[in-house]
Amino acid sequence: MARKPEVRVRRVYDQPTADDGVRVLVDRVWPRGLSKDRARVDQWSKQVAPSTELRKWYAHEPDRFPEFTRRYLSELEDAEPAEALARLRALARERTLTLVTATKAVEISQATVLADAIRS
């Protein structure tokens, strides 16, 4: 029987915890002011991040989140993001997966949309 994926979303600036499992940064650009040692990420999956154009359009405006989600899920169907998403799904079936992002509002971030896509 397949293991149900356990996917978490956290800020990359938050202190890692022992139950994070594999920590994967899902931002297109490296978080400002954060060293690689302090970030303690196991992987950086730029390929699943929203396009620069979509990220700039969205600008984390809460009222744009539904449309952002629709557009982002569409982008995840393209070849490179789809392949990276498949790798994250496979990883989540094996271990706890924590998606980390630099955004302050993780509940309306690409990491939350991505976590839902991995779980489905």
Give the pLDDT confidence of 65-83 residue by residue, as tens digits. 999 999 999 999 999 999 9
pTM passes above 0.85: yes
Instruction: Say how far apart CA 35 and CA 44 lie, in whole Å.
Output: 13
Residue 2's pLDDT band, with cuts at 50, 70 and 90, is: low
Q: Which two tokens stand for residue 95?
A: 């271990």
Burial of 30 from C-beta contacts in 10 A (0-12 / 13-18 / 19+): middle
Q: What is the CA radius of gyration of the chain?
A: 14
CB–CB of 113/69 below 8 Å?
yes
In the predicted model, is pLDDT for residue 1 greater than 70? Answer: no
Q: Which two tokens stand for residue 66?
A: 């539904």
Please give the pLDDT value at position 19.
Answer: 93
